[in-house]
Amino acid sequence: MKDRNDSRDVRPRIGSPLWVYMASVTAAGLAALAAAAASVRAAGLLHLLAEPLFWAVAGLALLAEIRPIVSPGKSHPDYGTAALTFCFAAFLYWGFGVAALRAPGSPR
């Protein structure tokens, strides 16, 4: 049974500033994902799926998300994970569309 005085497990009220912020960030993220999916052409996607380097980078990013590798001595808000590095490498090598579609936890 829920305790009304407990602030855990309480979602923001619809229309509150936090709810508006969360809804707008979610909508912007979905728009960016749709733009990324639209920018990847079918022929380019088939070529990309046949490329072993893509699967290697995607697999490393997935493993780094499952078991985060962080810099020693950094606290939780200050560290960057190895998955971020692999997603950035995909962005530099294949472009925004592939990196946005590949990024598993992009901004959390």
Question: Quick one: what percent of the chain has pLDDT higher than 70?
Answer: 71
Q: What is the mean pLDDT of residues 16-33?
A: 90
Domain ranges for the chain, please list them: 1-39, 41-108
Specify the pLDDT at position 25.
93
Is the Cα torsion angle 32, 108, 71, 60 positive or negative in sign?
A: negative
Q: What predicted TM-score, i.e. pTM, was given to this entire model?
A: 0.51
